[in-house]
Amino acid sequence: MKGASLISMVLLPVLSVNAVYTWPSEYDQLEEILYLQQGFIHFGLKDGVTPCDFSSLGGGRQSAAEWIRTAYRDMATHDIETGLGGLDGSIAFELGRAENPASSADLLAMSVVVASMACGGPIIPFRGGRVDAMKAGVSGVPEPDQDLATHTAIFAKQEFNTAEMITMVACGHALGGVHGVDFSLITGDGSAENFPKFDSTYDTFDNPIVTEYLGKNSTNPLVIGRNDTFNSDKRIFGYIRVRTTNRNADDVTVSLQYRDRKNNTSTTTIPTIRERYLLGQSYGFSSEIYTWCKFSTVLDATTGISSFDVILNTVGAADEIITHNGGGFPVSDAILYQPAQSCQPQVSVNGHDLQDIFLNYELVEFSNE
């Protein structure tokens, strides 16, 4: 979460949700990690997959491909008959299995969303709320040396029909390739640098993995491998043929009207100032723009503050007051003393020593469609 005195203003549309959003929410941090990708304030999750063929671990690796397939490997424990398993983070307990040679990534579901967008793929709607597992799930990831009937049964157990199985494999193998160090029987070379790709556009989320297969010019090591036992993509693809409020930030000013501890609305409005560094803006994947404003004010300590509304003034339009579903944005006036920013000058007035004390609120933040 951010430090105090920051207001985030969403200038472009955001995904709609079924329930009315109320701040603060347990999903605020997930939303910020997903949408604040660059600019004045950002979490930089996409840095790990930008450019699409990048890996901080060096040659022979591609983080975007690993993020997508790691999420599937975690989800593969789902059993439609028992209702157990699924995307629950249990892969953290399953890393010793041969079926899971890749390392786990934080926020597995979001890593798929970010990897897809970073590589030119579709924008995938995201919703948080998954519960982490406390132990390893059952085995469920298909192995390349299993026959088609076994693969079909495994995917059916995960609630995928045949067409969906083909789609999952094609999308899951749209990026990256096969690591020689993990699958030397497939690649014929067990070195870490050996990394044969699934298709000619391994760093773009697109469909040549299928079109090249249909055109009989595939380079996919799971299609043209010397040992046909491991050509799992060839068996799966061969089973069936695959056919596929804007606002200008410069025109907006922001101010606050607040309520005291007794919920009385103050007649005094608090102006804000737009941050200047990097234009005070953060950016997301889909042209979202977030403009950050700050405020500083002196409040009457005897009446304090309990909540505030936000006033948006747009040039050429009536003021818009955001009341946060009628309840205002709650804020505690409990004071946080910051000794590192405070000092005691060597002066006194009327026998009293002066002190410059820096106080701060924990968080002030809102988002508006």
Instruction: Assess whether pLDDT exceeds 70 at residue 202.
Output: yes
pLDDT at 282: 84
Tokens representing 79 are 């059993």
Mean pLDDT for the stretch of residues 39-46? 82
pLDDT at 100: 47
pLDDT at 4: 31
Neighbouring residues of 288: CB distance < 8 A, sequence distance ≥ 6: 10, 11, 12, 14, 35
- The pLDDT confidence band at residue 353, using thresholds 50, 70 and 90, is low
List the one residue out of 32, 17, 120, 95 whose CA is nearest residue 367. 32
- Within 10 A of 239 (CB to CB), how many other CB atoms are there? 14
Distances 30 to 7, 15, 125, 225 between C-alpha atoms, Å: 17, 14, 13, 41
Mean pLDDT for the stretch of residues 163-175? 88
Say how far residue 320 (Cα) sits from the centre of its chain.
Answer: 30
Coil, strand, or helix at residue 360?
strand
Lowest mean pLDDT among 111-125, 224-238, 352-366: 352-366
Mean pLDDT for the stretch of residues 22-31? 78
pTM, to two decimals: 0.53
Tokens representing 270 are 């608090």
Phi, psi of 283 (to 5 degrees): -135, 150
Mean pLDDT for the stretch of residues 20-39? 79
pLDDT at 204: 92
- Within 10 A of 351 (CB to CB), how many other CB atoms are there? 5
User: Which runs of E-coded beta strand occur in the chain?
Assistant: 6-10, 38-39, 252-259, 265-271, 273-274, 281-283, 289-294, 307-314, 320-322, 329-330, 336-337, 348-349, 352-353, 359-360
List the one residue out of 49, 53, 34 whose CA is nearest residue 204. 53
Angle subtended at Cα 50 by Cα 44 and Cα 53, rounded to the nearest 5 degrees: 150
Cα–Cα dist 65/48, whole Å: 11
Lowest mean pLDDT among 74-78, 104-108, 192-196, 234-238: 104-108
Instruction: Assess whether pLDDT exceeds 80 at residue 165.
Output: yes
- Within 10 A of 125 (CB to CB), how many other CB atoms are there? 8
- The pLDDT confidence band at residue 163, using thresholds 50, 70 and 90, is confident
Lowest mean pLDDT among 58-72, 129-143, 190-204, 288-302: 129-143
Q: What is the DSSP string of 243-271?
A: ------GGGEEEEEEEE-TT-PEEEEEEE
Instruction: Assess whether pLDDT exceeds 70 at residue 94.
Output: no
The hierarchical CATH code for the domain 45-237 is 1.10.520
List the one residue out of 27, 30, 199 whose CA is nearest residue 119. 199
Tokens representing 31 are 């939303």
- Residue 368 in contact with residue 322, Cβ under 8 Å? yes
pLDDT: which is higher, 97 or 64 = 64
- The pLDDT confidence band at residue 341, using thresholds 50, 70 and 90, is low
Mean pLDDT for the stretch of residues 269-294? 82
Tokens representing 277 are 């560094």
- Residue 1 in contact with residue 28, Cβ under 8 Å? yes
Q: What share of the chain is helix, strand, coil (3-state, %, to 5)?
A: 25, 15, 60
Phi, psi of 229 (to 5 degrees): -60, -35
Distances 165 to 143, 199, 360 between C-alpha atoms, Å: 14, 19, 54
Q: Where are the domains of the chain?
A: 6-17+252-360, 45-237
Q: Are strands 352-353 and 336-337 parallel, antiparallel or unpaired?
A: unpaired
Instruction: Assess whether pLDDT exceeds 80 at residue 46.
Output: yes
